[in-house]
Structure 1
């Protein structure tokens, strides 16, 4: 048994101590003269029951896990053209595996708030923070893959801004980051370090897609009347004619470095295995700074309520009958005065 007071104990004491004291004083007075002592005892008992109800006498009830509702999840999703490379799960596009895994992670963390950050040479957040998984899936399914350079560190600045904003608003929430990409840097610029994200991250994973042998990428007009060639050309092979097909290869060194910089484990994804093998390694209870469980208590006020109702009804009836008696007495006095 425990107490779950509806107001601070000092407030309960401040409100009810004078009332109880006054009733006790009145009972002592009327007891000496034997007048209406049971009425005042009944009222004292009603006040005591009211005090007990405000103290919230309860017994422990069920415990409900609410950890996911205290999570902010950030999906960093590589939408550069290499996502269309055909070396995932026996010749499918990497994009298919990346979409599958984002959805699987989201479904394993139902109740969390999701943030989607798309990047190629620049980064964007096309979806406001949401716990609606269907909205997340809709954006992923309609993602446009642009034929542009790939900068694997493009999402750093935007992600840091979002992480910092959420940390400053609600520091008690857990923040986990999932990076989906192939680690291939095609832009002629140095790769920036992800280390500045580490202070804000509580967990997550780096997920890599592609193979060492690599895969070709269908031309954006492939399968249409505008098709010129089946696969995009390798524009770096300027001495070759015709240009050979471009090959995109996974760069696991870059992906592992990202993992080391932010303190997250790297996983190579070659087929749609169960994502639970990855999410299970993220101990949500350690990610969130406060308890992930909500303890509920069953109040015992319902046991007291019938007595309070009966005592209140008796008092109401007493006041009513007293008023009727006073009225009758006045009528009698008026009749006598007219005689």
Structure 2
């Protein structure tokens, strides 16, 4: 209980109360005197402005699940991000920015190379997530069987459906990171069945139209070559834009770090809310005083009419 007195009103009530007690000395046994005394006491309580203290605790965070679909085929080692750095460096930088913007979210990572698999199950350990993005590297060229940019779609869909069942109140987002190169002959599957499961989606594309040479693996300077000629990988923004459209999301071409605007984190404190407000009791006391005043007025009118009739008689 907290009090925030309205001092001028309280002083006025105290003066009127003192006058009432002085004028009613010896006659407080009458119903009228008691009603008016109660009205004054209620008005005094209103002047004190009592309230039940609210909570200083911030609201519980809104549940947020983020599925990251990550292309780690050989072409993601192409050296055309932020100058001549591997595309996977850009992936690591953007994953770091994502978790910094949404630290309260739960994350899972689907990795795509020859197949798709969950490399990071649902976790809130953002440090481990950033470390994974910085060290996952790309598939060695000699192990490759081609690239299917949609191979991760069924795994991502299963994660989103599981989230929908276990955390129906959660917001669900998907972030796809890749270069859009489809080297398999098969037509990529559509991502449109994922859209109803999502609150939002983002497709981040890496690479350039000019292309970049590719290291065989992260720990070597040896390049992917054919007949002694270094091979180039080129971004395919058409396929990346198509994925974004199917997801109902937005496509961004990523060539340098920074500049991305992610979704709001969803934690209550982030929205500026700091707790529940105080609950005032003054209006309840005012209603009580008004009710008593109405009753007293009714009795006063009735007594006045009775006195008038008696005078005429």
* Interval of TM-score (by shorter of Structure 1 and Structure 2): 0.5 to 0.7
Aligned residue for 1:75? 68
Partner residue of 1:296 out of 276, 280, 286: 276
1:97 alignment partner in structure 2: 90
- How many aligned positions are there? 226
**Aligned-partner Cα distance in 1 for 2:111–2:133:** 9
1:212 aligns with 2:209: yes
The Cα RMSD (Å) is 2.9
1:11-160 matched pairs, under 5 angstroms: 58-62=52-56, 64=58, 66-67=60-61, 69-146=62-139, 147=141, 148=144, 149-160=146-157
Instruction: Name the SS for the 2:232 alignment partner.
Output: coil
Query: Contact 2:81–2:206 (CA<8 Å) still a contact in 1?
Result: yes
How many angstroms does 1:298 deviate by?
6.6
User: Which residue does 1:188 correspond to in 2?
Assistant: 185
Q: 1:258 aligns with which of 227, 237, 243?
A: 243
Structure 1 residues 221 and 101: CA distance shift in structure 2, 3 A = closer
Query: 2:87 & 2:193 partners in 1: Cα distance?
Result: 28
Partners of 1:232 and 1:222 lie apart in 2 by: 13
1:269 to 2:254 alignment: yes
Does the aligned pair in 2 maintain the 1:77–1:181 contact within 8 Å?
A: yes
Structure 2: state its 5+ residue gaps: 2-50, 281-313
Contact 1:86/1:92 (CA < 8 Å) preserved in 2? yes
Q: 1:99 & 1:85 partners in 2: Cα distance? A: 14
Contact 2:88 2:137 in 1 (8 A): no
Asked if the contact 2:77–2:86 (Cα under 8 Å) also holds between the matched residues in 1, the reply is: yes
Where 1:255 maps in the other structure, the secondary structure is helix
Look up the SS of the partner of 2:213 in the other structure: coil
Q: Which residue of 2 is the match for residue 172 of structure 1?
A: 169
Tell me the alpha carbon deviations over residues 121-175 of structure 1, each in whole angstroms, 9 at most, x when there is no partner.
Answer: 3111122211111111222233142122211101100001110011011111000
* Aligned-pair CA distance for 1:182: 0.5
TM-score (norm. length: structure 2):
0.65
Higher mean Cα deviation, 242-251 or 169-178?
Answer: 242-251
CA distance in 1, matches of 2:81, 2:131: 22
Deviations, residues 217-272 of structure 1 (Å, cap 9, x unaligned)? 02339748xxxxx31124xxxxxxx3422110000000000010010010111000
Report the TM-score, using the length of structure 1 for normalisation: 0.60
